[in-house]
Amino acid sequence: MLQAFDATTGAAMPHSGAALWLGLRTVRNLRKGLTWAWLDTVCQYRRSKIGPIWETINVLVMTLGIAVVSSAVIGGTVTNLIGYVGLGIIVWTAITSLISEGTTAFVRNRDAILSSNLSIDFYVARMSFRIFITFCHHLILYFIGVAIGLIGLHWAALLAIPGIVLLFVNGFWTITLLSLVCARYRDVELIIRNLLQLAFFVTPVFWDYRHIVSNRRFIVDYNILFYFLEIVRAPLLGEVPTAQTYIVVVSVTVVGYAMAYLVYRRMRRDLAFYV
Amino acid sequence: MSRVNLEGVSVHIPVYDANTLRLLRMPKFGRAKVGTGNVSHAGARLIIHALSNLDLALEEGDRVCVIGHNGAGKTTLLRLIAGIYPPSGGRMTIDGKVMALLGQNLSPNPDATGYENIALIANLFDWPKERLPEYIRDIEEFTELGEYLALPTRIYSAGMHARLAFAMATIQVPDVLLIDEAMGAGDAHFQLRARARIQQFISRAKIMVMASHSIDFCRAMCNKALLLAHSERVFFGDIDEGFARYAELG
């Protein structure tokens, strides 16, 4: 019943508490999204022997390459840098997937949106979880790093768990917001892809933010993506992220969901026309 | 009590085009045989009036086939009732659970097997878990797909997809069932079985709306016809009269 009248809920939904109602529905739908993403992953394994591990190999190759180059350019030894760079790339891959694939969540499911009355949460949840599952594959590299002694094991690493949760909780609103906007305005997807390339160099993924010249600190301080990188990477490297980092991340979460809700209210009704 | 009630409902589909100026050079829709005569501009945007001022009241037991030329608004009507397209004007009330079978298939993941897709649909549509084995047996029996159900659905033929999709869409006996074209892909044997299955449906007094060009199939499945032309309702009522009117339209 609820699913069937999604498109018209703009009118049917009671105004007050609508956001809450929407949130509850979404949470209820998350588990189904996970089931769907899981099936996607299983199929990926079926068609190529190591499935998503191909992407992990890609991450490994990138890590090795960038660690060698950045130790040559910036200084330091490869073994010292590899944990920092590797985890940086693993988290960065998740961030960029959430953003860049997020722009396509609805356009890619055009046929399904036009032919079924499934709630659109499913497409968002499916994508979030698929990126999460791939991220978990990449984390294997971290454990290998720990096993061979390249990365130390610290109690602080446990703090990475809330970090990962926060990262993907934010991924959910990002996908909702971007996929709606990008379904309507197709240029936005291309703009975002371009900006992400720049963001890779601007964000301290493969260079240490502590080495930055003091009058250019703003590059890091005003870079939201940096804080999301830090809540996962810093604990895994044995550092406790600063309170400021958590404050920024939680604020972004709140503001992000508010924005996504407003865009959803405004654009959900016409989504079938956009795709 | 399921019910579909449309009062003066319109659906206006905006055409988003980066270069709307180009539309000035478009041929006039009015002269085209295909499509609706109703196209308007809102600023730089082109708007297609896919359904205009439609009244329709469907009660339990109504099995309606929507007929009309290509572009008359059949699919738009089904998408409207399914809640995919929002009404641009008028009042729409729908009581009951709607199941839409509007695409060529109902397999959310073509790389997964038939069984896996059934399980996924069961999950997405909240089929009761304890009844799943029973449902699967029913689907196996109805589709007669045999071991194909254990293969990825991407290798299915259109007819096989039609069987599986129809079986899944009707298993829970929705209050309102919407079917578009797709079923035409099934062979005569399947159509016979689909008809028998719809008979059960009627006994539970539900509503069905289907769009099709196959007169035989419509006659077999439906008891009423809705004729649309140029986004408007031309006729609604007895199925034979509906087809007679359709023939007059030429």
**Count of structural domains within chain B:** 1
Tell me which residues of chain B have a C-beta less than 8 Å from any C-beta of chain A.
13-14, 16, 18, 79, 82-87, 92, 94, 97-98, 100-103, 106, 108-109, 111-112, 116, 120, 123-124, 152, 180
Rounded (10°) angle between helices A53-73 and A78-96: 130
Nearest to B200 by CA among B137, B142, B242: B142
User: Tell me: the pLDDT tens digits for A18-43?
Assistant: 888 888 888 888 999 999 999 999 99
Q: State the Cα–Cα distance between residues B68 and A257, nearest whole angstrom.
A: 45
Q: pLDDT value at position A16?
A: 59
Q: State the Cα–Cα distance between residues B165 and A4, nearest whole angstrom.
A: 18
B4: region left, alpha or beta (phi > 0 left; psi from -120 to 50 alpha): beta
CA triple A205-A208-A211, angle to 5 deg: 145
| Spatial contact of B113 and B107, defined as CB atoms under 8 Å apart | no
Q: Where are the beta strands (DSSP E) in B18-160?
A: 39-42, 45-58, 63-67, 89-95, 98-101
User: Tell me: the pLDDT tens digits for A96-130?
Assistant: 999 999 899 999 989 889 988 888 889 999 999 99
**Predicted-complex ipTM score:** 0.84
**CB–CB contacts below 8 A, A to B:** 81
CA distances to A19, A112, B100, B118 from B113, in Å: 37, 18, 22, 9
Q: Give the domain CATH number at B19.
A: 3.40.50.300
Token representation of residue A28: 């209820």
| Spatial contact of A85 and A63, defined as CB atoms under 8 Å apart | yes
| Spatial contact of A238 and A157, defined as CB atoms under 8 Å apart | yes
Amino acid at A111: D
Model confidence band, residue B43 (pLDDT cutoffs 50, 70, 90): low
Q: Which of A36, A39, A120, A271 to mutate to test the interface with B (most CBs of B within 10 A)?
A: A39
Q: pLDDT value at position A75?
A: 78
Q: What percent of chain A has pLDDT over 90?
A: 63
Model confidence band, residue B183 (pLDDT cutoffs 50, 70, 90): low
> Chain B contacts of A187, Cβ < 8 Å?
18
Whether residue A1 is predicted with pLDDT greater than 90 in this model: the reply is no
| Spatial contact of A19 and B92, defined as CB atoms under 8 Å apart | no
Question: Is the CB of B83 less than 8 angstroms away from the CB of A5?
Answer: yes
User: pTM for this one?
Assistant: 0.88
In terms of residue numbers, what domain contains B155? 3-249
User: For chain A, which residues make up each domain, given as ranges?
Assistant: 32-274
